[in-house]
Amino acid sequence: MKMRKILKRVLLIDDNEADNFIHKIFIQKHGGVEETVAVTSGQKALDYLSSNQTGSYPRPELIFLDINMPRMNGWEFLEEYKKLDDEQKGGVVVVMLTTSLNPDDKKMADGDGNVTEFMNKPLNIEKFQSVLEKYFPDRLD
């Protein structure tokens, strides 16, 4: 039985290519997403979100964001993300996906209106399913 696509697009932002690769596999195995895009920096993510593709912006519905990245970390990405036009953001749920054990990171995430969830790496099918159930319940059977 083929699963119905719940989301059109998911964006992975992580400087660790192996994490992006593994997380993309879990999302594809889940089967509920039409397209999964992975970028290796906050700046590449901003460039992607600002790119006008065939007359519209990509507008992912779900973003998994790493905190600890060189050049532009997850917090710096969020500061720039807030400056984007609404049509570039779309209906986005931002999940901080991190190895950080720093309680200050969790506190900052809880205080940021753009971050809806804070979870530890690695992403797996169960964590992905829980995000779908929590933030997209109307799309599930």
CATH topology of domain 7-135: Rossmann fold (3.40.50)
pLDDT computed for residue 48 by the predictor: 95
Q: How far is CA 51 from CA 9, 47, 64, 72, 102, in A?
A: 15, 6, 19, 19, 34
Residue 33: CA count within 13 A, CB half-sphere: 25
DSSP, collapsed to helix, strand or coil, labels residue 115 as strand
pLDDT computed for residue 138 by the predictor: 82
Would you give per-residue pLDDT tens digits along the chain (141 residues)?
345 678 999 999 999 999 999 999 999 988 889 999 999 999 999 999 999 877 889 999 999 999 999 999 999 999 999 999 888 887 778 999 988 888 899 999 999 888 999 999 999 989 999 999 999 888 776
- The helix (run of H) or strand (run of E) holding residue 125 is helix 125-135
- The helix (run of H) or strand (run of E) holding residue 80 is helix 74-81
- The helix (run of H) or strand (run of E) holding residue 9 is strand 7-13
State phi, psi for 118 to the nearest 5 degrees.
-130, 115
pLDDT computed for residue 13 by the predictor: 96
Whole-model pTM: value is 0.92
Domains of the chain, residue spans: 7-135
